[in-house]
Structure 1
Amino acid sequence: MRLIGLAGWSGAGKTTLLARLIPALAARGIAVSTVKHAHHAFDIDQPGKDSHTHRQAGARQVLVSSSNRWALMSELRGAPEPPLAELLRKLDPVDLVIVEGFKRDSHPKIEVFRAANGKPWLHPQDPAIRAAATDTPPPGPLPFAGIDEVERVADLLLAHAAPWPS
């Protein structure tokens, strides 16, 4: 399994780019999984559903299964958030895992940068950023592709992904 991250400020277009990269990589025969860091209060469950009732009653884990998919929800109940490495161990093996968020972790990353966001570049302070997907050339010698050049961004992802576990 290989690992690469997409890092950037909110509004830079990470999710939009990722939604375009996954089918481009799949067309190359590459099996992709993703890990997304979310805000503290996110919820994938809905009030009124049995699984939600189970969680609200205090279940540590609730597994929901159907003929189309299954999902495992784990409640931390005050325990610390698991580190990225622990979360990655929960995934089935694939060719490439793309991590969205976790920008402070040390895995190799592609910076997603949009000038109109008005935010500073991350790569000058993050040596784990190996390249950029951007609408403007980055400062310095960082390799980059245009944010809308999906095939070129896919090439950068594959060139800079690292084996995991490393």
Structure 2
Amino acid sequence: MRVYGVTGWKNAGKTGLVERLVAEITGRGYTVSTVKHAHHSVDVDHPGTDSQRHRAAGASEVLLASGQRIALMQELRGAPEPKLDTLLSRLSPVDLVLIEGFKRERHPKIEAFRAEPGNPLIATDDDTVRAVASDTPLELDCPVFDLDDTAAIADFILEEVGL
């Protein structure tokens, strides 16, 4: 499965870039899935729903299915967070998986960068960052795209992964 990451510090524009890339790349006829890393507790369920009650009762997994979507919730219950490779193996086959976050993993990435938060560039110290999408001009030893030039960024990623 082809994977490409979007990395960057908080408020760098990662989620907006991933959202635009999914729309752009699927609009070109490719299938895309995403994996998003969260540093905080995440719950996609709501208190009082049947599925939440199943989890609260101790279920390890709850599969919720409807005519529109399927959601599989797995409780770690103290087990370590699964590695990225394990998470990727759970996905159905697609043309491309875009990964948001997972800075320390070794897959190829583009860094989303905004000057205003004042964070350092990741690209200068990480050889897995192949390009930077920035809101300000930068001189680097890798391609630099305008953060809002979604088509050019998509072109770059698709070429990188051979699509």
Deviation at 1:162, TM superposition (A): 7.5
Partner of 2:108: 108
The alpha-carbon distance between structure 1 residues 112 and 14, as it changes in their structure 2 partners (threshold 3 A), is same
1:133 aligned onto 2:142 = no
Partner of 1:63: 63
State the one-letter code of the partner of 1:136.
Answer: T
Q: What is the CA RMSD across the aligned residues, in angstroms?
A: 1.4
1:32 aligned onto 2:32 = yes
Counterpart of 2:79 in 1: which secondary structure? coil
Is the 1:3–1:97 Cα contact (8 Å) retained in structure 2?
Answer: yes
Counterpart of 1:26 in 2: which secondary structure? helix
What are structure 1's unaligned runs of at least 5 residues?
A: none
Pairing of 1:49-128 with structure 2 (within 5 A): 49-128=49-128
Find runs of 4+ consecutive structure 1 residues off by over 6 angstroms. Answer: none
Q: Normalised by the size of structure 1, how large is the TM-score?
A: 0.94
Is the 1:108–1:161 Cα contact (8 Å) retained in structure 2?
Answer: no
Q: Alignment identity in percent?
A: 52
What are structure 2's unaligned runs of at least 5 residues?
A: none
Relative to structure 2, which stretch is displaced further, 124-133 or 91-100?
124-133
Q: How far apart, in 2, do the equivalents of 1:162 and 1:124 lie?
A: 25
State the one-letter code of the partner of 2:89.
Answer: R
Q: How far apart, in 2, do the equivalents of 1:162 and 1:130 lie?
A: 15
Q: How far apart, in 1, do the equivalents of 2:137 and 2:2 lie?
A: 27
Q: How far apart, in 2, do the equivalents of 1:140 and 1:152 lie?
A: 17
Q: How far apart, in 2, do the equivalents of 1:156 and 1:113 lie?
A: 17
Q: How far apart, in 1, do the equivalents of 2:136 and 2:127 lie?
A: 20
Count the aligned residue pairs.
163
Q: How far apart, in 2, do the equivalents of 1:95 and 1:151 lie?
A: 17
Is the 1:3–1:162 Cα contact (8 Å) retained in structure 2?
Answer: no
